[in-house]
Amino acid sequence: MVRPQFGFSVGRKDASTFTGLCGRHDQVLFEPVEKQQLRLSDSQHAFLLANRAVLKENHASLKAGIDVQSTYLRGGNAGLWSRDEPSAAGMMAVQKMAAAFFVDQVAVEFGKAYLLGSWDRVRHQILTLDVGATLAASSMFSTGVESRFGDGAAFVCLNVLPYEGLTVAMFSFLSDDEAPAESAFGHIWTAPGHYQQYLLSKLILAKCENLVIAPKLFDAFSNEQSEAIRAYYESSTYDDAHERDDARLYLFAAVH
């Protein structure tokens, strides 16, 4: 059922399933966190949660690069622009392929760590939010700060999930990029209580393409809060309007 204000009603397993892997490989890669009780204190479990976000972003960025390049070639063949001279369409294709390359660099490092069982190759900053089990999100995005190991900016994975009756937010990053990650998001890690949750809400809306909100919580949002969240989420895709502050941009409780 489509919710008229914001979002869709979707089953938990459908909403949270990454379909970029075949069933066999998904089972083999993530069996420890799927078949066992999740333990974030276990370095392997934490690594696997982060790795799922990496694989999802790698799949999405590669597909985006291929799709935009294919569109550019078709447009050139149709005479919409010259393939022998610079064009806006050509620059966009190059930018998408470059972005896919930077993400793939991180995916390669995660792959090496997985094969060697080097779970400590990835570091984590875990925030425990005293808000009940209300929200889930998983994504990987740029810090905007230069990486210490590869080309381009450092990347961070963010997993928000119910855990032991509460909600946790886990930031994960390659050990080489701990300093860039702290530079970009340390202000969230050290922020107090409600303000930390507010900053995290804005980050999720700006950087996570998919999030899952418990129906009971979502139904408690007013139309004004739902509309503010929707507008902020949409604005983050095309400009910097998402930098604005608004108390209604809070995902962990209804704002009155």
Same domain, 31 and 109: yes
Starting at the edge strand that comes first in sequence, how are the strands of the sheet with 135-146 ordered? 122-129, 166-174, 153-163, 135-146, 211-213
d(C-alpha 186, C-alpha 243), whole Å: 17
Q: How confident is the model at residue 3 (pLDDT cuts 50, 70, 90)?
A: very low
pLDDT tens per residue, range 29-69: 778 778 888 999 999 999 999 999 999 999 999 999 999 99
Containing structural domain, residue 236: 122-243
pLDDT tens per residue, range 203-235: 999 999 888 999 999 999 999 999 999 999 988
Segment 130-145 shows an average pLDDT of: 93
Q: How confident is the model at residue 17 (pLDDT cuts 50, 70, 90)?
A: low
User: Tell me, what's the pLDDT at 12?
Assistant: 52
Same domain, 128 and 236: yes
Mark which of 79, 97, 121 sits at the end of a domain: 121
Q: Given its phi and psi angles, is residue 29 left (phi above 0), alpha (psi -120 to 50 degrees) or beta?
A: alpha
Q: How confident is the model at residue 1 (pLDDT cuts 50, 70, 90)?
A: very low
Mark which of 92, 121, 150 sits at the end of a domain: 121
Same domain, 54 and 91: yes
Q: Of the given ranges (46-55, 98-107, 239-248), which has the lowest mean pLDDT?
A: 239-248
Segment 136-159 shows an average pLDDT of: 92
Q: Please state the domain count of the chain.
A: 2
Same domain, 138 and 235: yes
Segment 69-78 shows an average pLDDT of: 94
Q: What Rg value do the Cα atoms of the chain yield, rounded?
A: 19
188 pLDDT more than 70: yes
More confident residue, 16 or 22: 22
Q: What is the pTM of this model?
A: 0.87
Same domain, 49 and 95: yes
Instruction: For residue 218, give the H/E element and its range.
Output: helix 215-220
